[in-house]
């Protein structure tokens, strides 16, 4: 009798719709890796910032998953045409055609002309689940690093955030990364950059003869592939340990095809009553399990939702 009563109670639609939203991780961490430099890039939009010269308010950012090299460009507004131009000028013309570009589901990335252009060049677009930026964590961390760096320089020097951007990019490119112990600059060019600090305090590289310097550069380039291979090993070890720590706290929640679920209103933005709106809406049916905690949903009438949704924004629905 207790069991049957409990079964009926948890089917209460109002109770399910207003149930609290748990932010506890439901899926294990699966690190994103790259086999070689410039193979896989993460791209995202940061902003809006305070308007600067020429009305720029946004920052279009890309980061290479292997070398951690960042490219960024301030823009007044971001369209698919501008994204296409940015990728051509800042990735293709400098580092060659990428195999993958990871983005969110913004129309600038998912729509034409950018999507059509990527298909023509055989660039594979990978879209993260809706409202789940953790799936493109590399660029999210890069965004945070850029914003924090800009804020600190503005606090110290004042001026415009656009003027401080090159300084922050330089710092990021010449700073060793925790995951592999190398600087993005060295993994891209095969040698470390000469930094301003070496001007005031004479360093070996500034004192060495030109012929010796050329020989050292050749040696560094000869060893570059070996350094990159070591970087892969270090990165793999670091991400494995990070995943082990993260996954120990995960309470796995997986759904099967055909199951009923509710979707978080905070994610779908279906909040007509503001604070009085239910926290969950639906029900939906799990149409397809994509993997890595992502699902394709459909409405009860069979209409399929356009994008994939991550399980962290879903809740089992009892009918």
What's the CA angle centered on 125, arms 180 and 254, to 5 degrees? 80
Give the torsion sign (CA, 198, 200, 206, 207). negative
Which range among 81-95, 197-211, 258-272 has the greatest average pLDDT?
Answer: 81-95
For residues 129 and 37, the answer to whether their CB atoms sit within 8 Å is no
CA dist., res. 201 & res. 187, Å (int): 25
Give the pLDDT of residue 7.
65
CA distances for 249 relative to 24, 66, 107, 138, 167, angstroms: 9, 27, 35, 21, 38
Q: Where in the chain is the domain with CATH 2.30.30.140?
A: 7-25+255-316
What is the CATH architecture of 7-25+255-316?
Roll (2.30)
Is 172 a residue whose pLDDT tops 90? Answer: yes
Instruction: For residue 289, report the phi and psi dihedrals to the nearest 5 degrees.
Output: -95, 115
Place of tokens 């300084």: 167
| Average pLDDT estimate for 174-197 | 86
Give the pLDDT of residue 24.
67
Per-residue pLDDT tens over the stretch 69-80: 999 999 998 899
Give the pLDDT of residue 69.
95
Give the pLDDT of residue 235.
83
For residues 280 and 19, the answer to whether their CB atoms sit within 8 Å is yes
Is 61 a residue whose pLDDT tops 90? Answer: yes
Closest CA to 121 of 70, 94, 87: 87
Q: List the single range of 5-14, 187-196, 297-306 with lowest mean pLDDT.
A: 5-14
CA dist., res. 116 & res. 5, Å (int): 55
Phi-psi region of 143 (alpha: psi -120 to 50; beta: other; left: phi over 0): alpha
Give the pLDDT of residue 216.
64
Per-residue pLDDT tens over the stretch 221-265: 667 778 888 888 888 888 888 878 777 777 777 888 888 888 887
Give the pLDDT of residue 319.
75
Residue 58, exposed/middle/buried by CB under 10 A (0-12, 13-18, 19+)? middle
Per-residue pLDDT tens over the stretch 29-40: 777 778 889 999
Is 192 a residue whose pLDDT tops 60? Answer: yes
Domain 40-246 listed as CATH 3.40.50.150: no
CA dist., res. 60 & res. 55, Å (int): 15
For residues 66 and 37, the answer to whether their CB atoms sit within 8 Å is yes
Instruction: For residue 288, report the phi and psi dihedrals to the nearest 5 degrees.
Output: -150, 140
Is 64 a residue whose pLDDT tops 80? Answer: yes
Angle between the 137-157 and 161-173 helix axes, to the nearest 10 degrees?
120
Is 209 a residue whose pLDDT tops 80? Answer: no
Residue 114, exposed/middle/buried by CB under 10 A (0-12, 13-18, 19+)? buried
Structure tokens of 170? Answer: 């330089």
Q: Where in the chain is the domain with CATH 3.30.420.10?
A: 40-246
Q: Cis before residue 285, ω within 30 degrees of 0?
A: no
Task: Give the three-state DSSP class for 125.
Answer: strand
Give the pLDDT of residue 89.
96
Q: What is the mean pLDDT of the chain?
A: 81
Of residues 198 and 96, more confidently modeled: 96
Closest CA to 282 of 252, 254, 318, 249: 318
């Amino acid at each position: 009798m207790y069991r049957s009563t409990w079964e009926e109670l948890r089917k209460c639609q109002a109770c399910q719709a207003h149930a609290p939203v748990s932010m506890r991780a439901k899926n294990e961490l699966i690190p994103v890796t790259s086999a070689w430099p410039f193979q896989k890039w993460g791209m995202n939009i940061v902003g809006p910032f305070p308007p600067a010269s020429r009305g720029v308010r946004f920052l279009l950012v890309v980061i290479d998953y292997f070398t951690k090299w960042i490219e960024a460009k301030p823009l007044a507004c971001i369209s698919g045409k501008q994204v296409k131009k940015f990728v051509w000028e800042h990735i293709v013309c400098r580092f060659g055609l990428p195999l993958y570009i990871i983005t969110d589901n913004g129309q600038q990335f998912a729509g034409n002309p950018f999507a059509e252009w990527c298909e023509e060049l055989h660039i594979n677009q990978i879209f993260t689940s809706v409202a789940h930026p953790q799936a493109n964590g590399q660029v999210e961390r890069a965004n945070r690093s850029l914003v924090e760096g800009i804020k600190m320089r503005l606090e110290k020097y004042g001026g415009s955030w656009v003027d401080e951007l090159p300084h922050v990019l330089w710092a990021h490119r010449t700073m060793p990364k925790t995951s592999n112990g190398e600087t993005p600059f060295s993994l891209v060019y095969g040698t470390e950059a000469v930094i301003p600090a070496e001007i005031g305090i004479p360093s070996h590289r500034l004192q060495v003869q030109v012929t010796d310097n050329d020989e050292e550069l050749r040696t560094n380039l000869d060893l570059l592939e070996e350094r990159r291979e070591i970087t892969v090993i270090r990165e793999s070890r670091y991400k494995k340990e990070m995943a082990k720590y993260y996954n120990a706290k995960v309470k796995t929640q997986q759904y099967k095809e055909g199951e009923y679920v509710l979707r978080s209103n905070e994610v779908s933005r279906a909040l007509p009553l503001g604070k009085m709106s239910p926290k969950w809406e639906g029900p939906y049916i799990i149409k397809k399990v994509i993997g890595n905690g992502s699902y394709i949903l459909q409405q009860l009438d069979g209409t399929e939702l356009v994008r994939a949704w991550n399980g962290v924004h879903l809740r089992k629905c009892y009918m």
